[in-house]
Amino acid sequence: MILIIAEKAIAGRRIAAILAGKQLPGTRRGYAIRFDFEKDGKKYVVVPLSGHIVDIDFPLMYKQWLGTDLKKLVKADVNYNETEKSISGLIKEVAPEIKEVIIATDADREGEAIGLEALNILKEVNSTVKIKRAIFSAITEKDITDAFANLSKLDFNLAESANSRREIDLIWGAVLTRFLSLISGRLGKEFLSTGRVQGPTLALIVSREKERLAFVVKKYWQIQAVFEKDKAQFSALHKEAKFWDQKKAEKAMKCTTPPKGIVTDIKKRKKVLARPVPFNTTSFLRAATPIGFTAGRAMQIAESLYQSGFLSYPRTDNSVYPKTLDLKATLKELAKVKDFEKLANELLAFPKLDASSGKLAKDHPPIHPVTAVQKEKLDPQMWKIYELVCRRFMATLAKDALTENLSVSIDLNKEPFVATGQIYVEKGWKHFYPYSKATEVLLPKLEKGNEVKLLKLDNLAKETMPPARYSQGALIKAMSDLNLGTKSTRAETIQKLYRRNYIEGQKSIAPTKIAIAVINGLEKHNSVVVKPEMTSNLEKEMDLVASGKKSKDDVVGDSREFLLKALLLLLEHKNEIGSEIRNAARSDSIIGSCTDKNCGGQLLIRKGRTGKRFLGCSNYPKCTVTWPLPQKGLLSVVPGACEHCGTPLIKIVGKRYHYQMCINPKCKSKADWGKKKEEKEITKKPVSKN
């Protein structure tokens, strides 16, 4: 019998159906499921995993945070323990009958490590089994058939590279998280976390916030004119775009008599707007976040679409289509989708299909559609991601966009103004990709020497703006540029920062006070644990494991030594760091002013004898005002007050939800408590192709 190991149930079901040539019911026991079939006289059994079925942890003696010597924890053993007993039990059950095992997990480091976990469990019972590997980038009939017709070898070095990352992240995360939590007194559910990637990522966000806080606002003035020609109105700005001297701007305003300008020059130029390159993981997430998705949510949906056979594998650094990808066949597949039929056929009418190219990487192809699915067959959010990928694919095959840009110089009583216009000569790829708007600015027909009538002249007072906060897409790009984490982990790192209440705001990411205190405390004492160079260097070390130039044990051992040096420095300054974090925590616990207007105290987050949290006045026992609080989720203050009752607003952040509410349980908005969730889990039901 031949055993096929798939990464997840939905992928296993599709692989079994493709190889068997029909849908298979599967036999379920607990969380485990198997698909049995015969082909060419051979018996097969497909056993899907649920991602990792083996977890790593320290021995039980290190379980207690209090009393554990962190220096010893740096050196502690790491144990590998089975977590999905029903699945590992099924593998052991079929093991004696197995002559050959084919690892068909995702073709990346994590997939290789997950496959190795299943293989090691199998070999506990059957050590002589033959091992083969199926490599594919999409779960379609062609890709799966080709992969199983051209089996390769399991890459043990790649798997060990992933395991080195798991061990390093466990050790660094556990040691640094316990250090922060212990010195700040934040234990239990309110613990403070950091890690090898989490710390430097948070430092990026805090650094940007410091730039904003240190930014010195400067005032400037812009003079804007509204002219008219042949009953068509258009705007023009003074040639000196920003007046830093108000008096100079006011002097320039004395140009309204007579109220007419003369066109002195017209410049035309054509501008090519290059079509976008294919999606890699980073560019995909950057495109998904402006249309309403968090990075983690977008990746979750893309993975679901991949496992359902609609998209290619969504974890890739590549932005160059391989020569083996049949572009015409993919377009013909898209032409089957009602929403894309016309667009796909427009591209199929091209004499030759020539795709744009970005950066070539030696991993999976760029993210692209592989199978047609109609809009009504998908959950609305899944369709939104599927449509984004499909339109990006078509945009990469379209022509460049071409604009004609006008710059019209106008003399208004010896003050120079400039009007700019833009029209599209060819919309090209923008016709297929509405996420990048084709904005036009129309000017009336103007010629040198024309007279234009002045309708309005404004002196606009403005201020310089501080650097923008990171969006999730911009943060993903910054992490990629600095080699923080991997394409597979960056989105989850950001979600973890939200769950830890370190950051807030979905479109514009702001650090909380506690986050700033944590980073300040670590940076003040020259700690390498929040510097991107540290994480980047460790990533390079793990790459050496993948290439077989270093062993996992050597790389993990080196990282332990590096961490120990950093820990010793932190321990020398634990009192100062702890004090700063505790002060920030106290500040963060203030929700607002006491609701008794005669009190003058502050409402603070407190805990009762039972451990339940509530809001109490800082003037207790003189003031006994209290308000109840939700007991689950991280809590933070929201600026402003409830529009219904005027009490303070709070925000609750859980693992898969976040919402805001007022603290008054009698308020009519109480009915909305817990319902204003901005994120919902993906529907678990299988997606039909038909």
Q: Which two tokens stand for residue 621?
A: 């026992």
Reported for 423-427, long-range contacts at CB under 8 A and 24+ positions apart, including other chains, are 425/270, 426/399, 426/400, 426/401, 426/402, 427/401
Residues 539 and 434 in one domain: no
- Domain tally, the chain: 5
Share of the chain above pLDDT 90, in %: 73
Alpha carbon of 282 to those of 148, 308, 315, 476: distances in Å? Answer: 30, 22, 9, 6
The amino acid occupying position 486 is T
Round the average pLDDT of the chain to a whole number and report it.
90
Q: Which two tokens stand for residue 58?
A: 């320290």
Distance CA 408, CA 446 (A): 8
| Helix (H) / strand (E) containing 389 | helix 380-397
| Sign of the torsion angle spanned by Cα atoms 97, 101, 105, 110 | positive
> What is the predicted pLDDT for the residue at 602?
84
**Is the pLDDT confidence value at 228 over 90?**
yes
- Residue whose token pair is 């017709």: 149
- Residue whose token pair is 């949510």: 297
At 382, is the secondary structure helix, strand, or coil? helix
- Judge whether 56 lies within some domain: no
> What is the predicted pLDDT for the residue at 687?
39
Distance CA 670, CA 35 (A): 49
The amino acid occupying position 478 is A
Catalytic (active site) residue 313 = yes
Residues 145 and 14 in one domain: yes
Question: Considering 539, 566, 583, which residue would you say is the last residue of a domain?
Answer: 583
- Judge whether 79 lies within some domain: no
Residues 452 and 321 in one domain: no
> What is the predicted pLDDT for the residue at 683?
33
The CATH number of residue 294's host domain is 1.10.290.10
Confidence band (pLDDT; 50, 70, 90) for 610? confident
Alpha carbon of 372 to those of 14, 257, 668: distances in Å? Answer: 16, 65, 47
Q: Which two tokens stand for residue 638?
A: 């929201």
At 580, is the secondary structure helix, strand, or coil? helix
- Judge whether 104 lies within some domain: yes
Q: What's the pLDDT tens digit per position in 117-137?
A: 999 999 999 999 999 999 999
Residues 296 and 179 in one domain: no
Reported for 266-269, long-range contacts at CB under 8 A and 24+ positions apart, including other chains, are 266/406, 266/407, 266/408, 266/409, 266/446, 266/447, 266/448, 267/406, 267/407, 267/408, 267/409, 268/404, 268/405, 268/406, 269/404, 269/405
Q: Which residues pair with 279 in a beta bridge?
A: 367
- Judge whether 690 lies within some domain: no
* CB-based contact 594:601 (threshold 8 Å): yes
Q: What's the pLDDT tens digit per position in 469-525?
A: 999 999 999 999 999 988 888 999 999 999 888 998 878 999 988 899 999 989 888
**Is the pLDDT confidence value at 636 over 50?**
yes
The CATH number of residue 119's host domain is 3.40.50.140
Q: Which two tokens stand for residue 22?
A: 């029909």
At 303, is the secondary structure helix, strand, or coil? helix
Residues 443 and 496 in one domain: no
Strand bridging mode 232-238 / 79-82: unpaired
* CB-based contact 489:197 (threshold 8 Å): yes
- Judge whether 61 lies within some domain: no
Question: Considering 363, 397, 431, which residue would you say is the last residue of a domain?
Answer: 397
Q: Give the chain's length.
A: 690
Alpha carbon of 62 to those of 36, 70, 168, 565: distances in Å? Answer: 43, 9, 16, 20
Of the candidates 281, 367, 371, the one whose C-alpha atom is nearest the C-alpha of residue 321 is 367
Distance CA 435, CA 287 (A): 8
Mean pLDDT score, 3-19: 95
Residues 352 and 484 in one domain: no
> What is the predicted pLDDT for the residue at 668?
64
> What is the predicted pLDDT for the residue at 486?
87
Residues 209 and 136 in one domain: no
Residues 489 and 562 in one domain: yes
- Judge whether 529 lies within some domain: yes
Mean pLDDT score, 608-615: 81
Residues 576 and 603 in one domain: no
Alpha carbon of 123 to those of 117, 518, 576: distances in Å? Answer: 10, 46, 52
Of the candidates 486, 481, 499, 118, the one whose C-alpha atom is nearest the C-alpha of residue 299 is 486
Residues 596 and 610 in one domain: yes
- Judge whether 434 lies within some domain: yes
Q: What is residue 296's DSSP assignment?
A: H
Lowest mean pLDDT among 199-208, 346-355, 357-366: 357-366
3-state secondary structure 81-141: EECCHHHHHHHHHHHHHCCEEEEECCCCHHHHHHHHHHHHHHHCCCCCCEEEECCCCCCCH
Q: Which two tokens stand for residue 543?
A: 């790459």
The CATH number of residue 578's host domain is 1.10.460.10
Omega before residue 258 within 30° of 0, cis: yes
- Judge whether 67 lies within some domain: no
Alpha carbon of 479 to those of 482, 493, 494, 533, 553: distances in Å? Answer: 5, 10, 10, 12, 27
Distance CA 612, CA 155 (A): 50
Residues spanned by the domain of 640? 589-672
Distance CA 32, CA 48 (A): 8
CB neighbour list of residue 479: distance below 8 Å, 6 or more residues apart: 201, 204, 485, 490, 493
User: Residue 397 — φ and ψ, nearest 5°?
Assistant: -100, -10
**Is the pLDDT confidence value at 211 over 80?**
yes
The amino acid occupying position 24 is L
pTM of the entire predicted model:
0.84
Q: What's the pLDDT tens digit per position in 300-314?
A: 999 999 999 999 999
Q: Which residues pair with 602 in a beta bridge?
A: 593
Given 80, 220, 306, 313, which residue is catalytic?
Answer: 313
Residues 29 and 138 in one domain: yes
Question: Considering 154, 187, 202, which residue would you say is the last residue of a domain?
Answer: 154
Distance CA 395, CA 397 (A): 5
Distance CA 221, CA 223 (A): 7
Confidence band (pLDDT; 50, 70, 90) for 681? very low
3-state secondary structure 505-524: CCCCCEECHHHHHHHHHHHH
Of the candidates 223, 177, 185, the one whose C-alpha atom is nearest the C-alpha of residue 202 is 177
Mean pLDDT score, 559-579: 92
Confidence band (pLDDT; 50, 70, 90) for 652? confident
The CATH number of residue 434's host domain is 2.70.20.10
Confidence band (pLDDT; 50, 70, 90) for 664? confident
Task: Compute, in degrees rounded to 10, the torsion defined by CA atoms 606, 609, 611, 612.
Answer: -60
How many CB atoms sit inside 10 A of residue 462's CB?
12
Instruction: Compute the C-alpha angle 44/49/50, nearest 5°.
Output: 155
Q: What's the pLDDT tens digit per position in 397-456?
A: 999 999 999 999 999 999 999 999 999 999 999 999 999 988 899 999 999 999 999 999
Residues 8 and 89 in one domain: yes
> What is the predicted pLDDT for the residue at 408?
98
